A and B are shown apart, each in its own frame.
Chain A
């Protein structure tokens, strides 16, 4: 058999070919999805539902990892021991709060807004919707306190959030290099 005949034979067996034969609408939808997935992959941008499955492939520096300590009413709350989805919400939002406050509320999205607003206009409205409001960010510790307290009534509603820069020694024990209080809330009558 000629190679190109073999190739046609193989192509006829593919899912896309069978889809083309049986359901042309779905074939068009699937092809559009594939093209958009390829486009966003090469652009290096994630745009739901077109995501890049590149987790744990980026080289990161582990010289001085950052860890956080949360104290509610003077008691430590260990979010690393929470159920997975809650741990993600607390841990990720906490590190985002830390980044926003340390960078003076500067966000990388601001540059993208400038670029994209040249196409869709109304830069001030887009900025208002996409960027964080510094007053709301400052209220994050209060949100975290309420979220962690969940329906429970607190005697003295107060929270303190500390950040530690740590390093490992040769026995993989952690040592604190520096610490800083990055936020808190205290109820005042």
Chain B
């Protein structure tokens, strides 16, 4: 691996991480902004259970000083790494990100898969050994490919892809709150049209599944990585337009296709 490539990876990853922290700050969802939530949902996740048994999430969110320090470290660790690369900054950053991902998931009652992108892509920077870092980078790339292909296989395995009405029913649930809140808006009109146009909605679903499945090619060759990157961007835009779901936080994984 060339040193310039390594520098580029770090520059893009930690630069994007700073933007991500600012986005979370703007969204009022950083540790110190969670305001000591009342409801927990560790589900049956063993890792979340361990954190709950050690009472770590409650310790963080009920202690404003600790929560603020963790927020500050999430912003400054990427800056420090950009100024002076040091694997300890990267390791500490991954730990804080993991805690953040766990706390946010436990308090909102949902496993946020999109946050895995920033956590996983931070791992290669743990190593000073260039060969190991290169291997870790490729391992994360394979994980990204797996996540996309796996998403397609779940749709096939559960039979959703063979149900022409599936996307229409999903859209009805997905957009009920928005249509209820803003029945006359242009976006509601678009969502309503999409729900009424069963063939278009099903077409979106089939296209999304095909795009996800196409990532299988990445397991055999890196020749099409640029094309996969473009396909992912199309997938993310379609996801936003049809489902109102932002895949922006998964973009960290794209770095493994780019460099």
With A22-B131, A96-B41 given, is the CB distance from A55 to B53 under 8 Å? Answer: no
Q: How far is the CB of A55 from chain B (nearest CB, A)?
A: 7
Are A51 and B27 in touch, CB under 8 angstroms?
A: no
Are B55 and A168 in touch, CB under 8 angstroms?
A: no
B-binding residues in A (CB < 8 A): 15, 19, 22-23, 26, 30, 37, 41, 45-49, 51-62, 65-69, 76, 78-86, 88-89, 91-93, 95-97, 100, 109, 112, 116, 125-126, 129-130, 132, 136-137, 139-140, 143, 146-147, 150, 164, 166, 168, 171-174
Are B120 and A49 in touch, CB under 8 angstroms?
A: yes
CB neighbours of B45 from chain A (8 A): 45-48
A-binding residues in B (CB < 8 A): 23-24, 26-29, 33-49, 52-53, 55, 98, 101-102, 104-105, 107-113, 116, 119-120, 131-132, 135-136, 138-139, 142, 146-148, 150-151, 154-155, 157-160, 163, 166, 169-170, 172-173, 176-183, 192, 195-196, 243, 245-246, 248
Top 3 closest pairs, chain A to chain B, by CB: A54-B154, A62-B172, A65-B176
14 additional A-B residue pairs with CB within 8 Å, beyond A48-B105, A85-B24? A46-B45, A46-B111, A49-B47, A52-B154, A59-B163, A59-B169, A79-B177, A81-B178, A89-B34, A126-B53, A130-B49, A136-B38, A171-B196, A174-B179
How many A-B residue pairs lie within 8 Å, measured between CB atoms? Answer: 197
CB neighbours of B243 from chain A (8 A): 56
Q: How far is the CB of A158 from chain B (nearest CB, A)?
A: 18
